Amino acid sequence: MEYLSLALFALVFIFLMVGFPVALTLAGSSLLFALVASFFGVFELTFIENVPSRIFGLMNNTTLMAVPLFVFMGIMLEQSKIAEQLLETMDELMRGITGGLGISVILVGALLAASTGIVGATVVTMGLLALPTMLKQGYCPKLASGTICASGTLGQIIPPSIVLILLGDVLSSAYQQAQLNQGIFSPKTLAVSDLFIGALFPAMLLVVLYMLYVFTIAFLRPERAPSALQSQKSPGVGKRILFSLAPPLALIGLVLGSILLGFATPSEAAALGALGALLLAAVKRRLSLPVLQSVMQNSLKVTSMIFLIFIGAIFFSLTFRGLGGDTLIEHLLLDLPGGVFTAVLIVMVLMFVLGFFLDFIEITYIIVPVVAPVLFMMGVDPIWLGIMIAINLQTAFLTPPFGFALFYLKGVAPSIKTTDLYKGVLPYILIQLSVLGIIAIWPELVTWLPGVISAP
């Protein structure tokens, strides 16, 4: 019976590849398997009877309240034209510096990631604004497109990241489940703020390595990343960069500072961020009734899509568990030679390969709940595992053929060849995998700061 759970996973994967909606695929495949297995007497339908209580628990999950608020904040900031002003002033400031425009794109991408946390909006915005400028200045199309895609995906790992919020919710449940399975009836908790704190050093390392790569290419191959003339700067650039940087930095300080200093939960900080984005749009005279209506409609669409996947994932997890899939995965991972190292390596490779075909939300709600409890029972640190998974999922936005960042950029820049796009993101994928390896060797890069902040 346990191997039927693998058949369920295979059926879900096939339907997703065909193009069926994720939420409906999860729920429909699971119900179909549950009914057929029940008919043959190998599945108890009482598992499905737990769906309403699970959905009610989902509705009462205060952590997930941060999702629609951060989505609203990101879309509202997109309307306030922060990226456009930042890119113009940063480009002017970095003129004459080796690889200056590429480095500016990375810095602006990091600031937008910390302000919005939405990958699609960042890639599209940077593609519309930065790509024509980079190509006009003589940048190689591969380097230009790869830099924009990679910079846009920084929203996956830089807080406040929607990915970290969703991962935090899934891993928190898995961590408690693992402790209960071990007979610990006063389990420790994992907070989303712990993942936010743990992500800071790896995120900064990624940004630095991105910039170092662009600088190296510009230094060794200047024809691929030529610098603009220093004389093209106009007076008052310092003042303009200050006024361009102040709004996003203030919003970042408001949101992340309140979380890191313990003044607010992620949901409360998300509410502050949404209010700050509203005020920022009003100050920039971008706030109007049509704009507000558009932002609210888009926020509702994105949030509805995410929560519908949550509900589909409930059907999948209950059916998978009812078929004994959790027991099967536990035995498979525990029986591997090499212990924890091999188990984590196989899980990371599996997620990386699935990232070629599946979205990060699908992987988060299909794979993570299955493998995380077993890894926690083997003694893996939950914060470290969460950041490892987050960086791994970040590569899913870049890996061909279905990397979403590639689709976003191709949609707004059809003149870019697909082969140039694929070749352009390859070095950044290698950088991300390198950071994954560095964190695997030195987990203190993730665990040290949360331990210091949470220490009494």
Residue 341: inside a domain, yes or no? yes
SS3 label, residue 427? helix
Contact, 136 vs 244, CB < 8 A? no
The predicted pLDDT at position 329 comes to 77
Quote the DSSP letter at residue 61.
-
Residue 12: inside a domain, yes or no? no
In order of 85, 156, 161, 245, the CA distances from 64 in angstroms are 32, 17, 12, 29
Does residue 97 register a pLDDT over 80? Answer: no
In order of 109, 134, 139, the CA distances from 224 in angstroms are 21, 10, 5
Nearest to residue 67, comparing CAs of 401, 303, 232? 303
The dihedral built from the CA positions of residue 287, 290, 294 and 297, taken in this order, carries a sign that is: positive
The predicted pLDDT at position 124 comes to 75
Structure confidence by residue, pLDDT tens digits, 3-55: 777 888 888 888 877 778 878 888 888 888 888 888 888 778 888 888 888 88
Does residue 430 register a pLDDT over 90? Answer: yes
Does residue 180 register a pLDDT over 90? Answer: no
Residue owning tokens 């190292």 = 341
Contact, 174 vs 373, CB < 8 A? yes
For residue 270, the enclosing domain spans 64-305+322-454
Burial, 11: exposed, middle or buried (Cβ in 10 Å; 0-12, 13-18, 19+)? middle
Stretch 272-292: mean pLDDT, rounded? 85
Query: Is the pTM above the cut of 0.85?
Result: no
CB atoms within 10 A of CB 436: 19
Stretch 274-302: mean pLDDT, rounded? 86
What does 215-235 look like in DSSP terms, one character per residue? HHHHHH-TTTSPPPPGGG--T
CA distance 415 to 127: 12
Stretch 397-425: mean pLDDT, rounded? 80
CB atoms within 10 A of CB 300: 13
> How many domains does the chain divide into?
1
Residue 15: inside a domain, yes or no? no
Residue 343: inside a domain, yes or no? yes
Task: Tell me the residue type at 177.
Answer: Q
Q: What angle do CA 448, 453, 456 make, to 5 degrees?
A: 115
Nearest to residue 252, comparing CAs of 85, 74, 426? 74
Comparing 150 with 362, which gets the higher pLDDT? Answer: 150
Does residue 192 register a pLDDT over 90? Answer: no
Structure confidence by residue, pLDDT tens digits, 49-78: 888 888 888 788 777 888 888 888 878 877
Angle between helices 266-283 and 66-79 (to 10 degrees): 20
Residue 317: inside a domain, yes or no? no
SS3 label, residue 446? helix
CA distance 239 to 251: 19
- Residues in the chain, total: 456
Per-residue pLDDT band for 125 (boundaries 50, 70, 90) equals: confident
The predicted pLDDT at position 233 comes to 54
Contact, 68 vs 299, CB < 8 A? yes
Comparing 446 with 79, which gets the higher pLDDT? Answer: 446
Q: 119-144 burial, b for 16+ CB within 10 Å, e for fewer?
A: bbbbbbbbbebbbebbbebebbbbbb
E strands, 182-339, in order: none
What is the average pLDDT score of the chain? Answer: 83
Task: Tell me the residue type at 350.
Answer: L
Stretch 194-212: mean pLDDT, rounded? 92
Per-residue pLDDT band for 351 (boundaries 50, 70, 90) equals: confident
In order of 21, 70, 333, the CA distances from 305 in angstroms are 10, 15, 32
Does residue 276 register a pLDDT over 60? Answer: yes
Structure tokens at 56: 């009610």
Nearest to residue 367, comparing CAs of 404, 405, 336, 396? 396
CA distance 124 to 406: 10
Stretch 227-235: mean pLDDT, rounded? 58
Percent of the chain with pLDDT over 70: 93
Does residue 456 register a pLDDT over 60? Answer: no
The predicted pLDDT at position 70 comes to 82
Residue owning tokens 């069926």 = 20
Residue 45: inside a domain, yes or no? no
Contact, 149 vs 406, CB < 8 A? yes
CA distance 435 to 390: 12
The predicted pLDDT at position 120 comes to 66
Residue 39: inside a domain, yes or no? no
Burial, 40: exposed, middle or buried (Cβ in 10 Å; 0-12, 13-18, 19+)? exposed
Residue 248: inside a domain, yes or no? yes
Task: Tell me the residue type at 378.
Answer: M
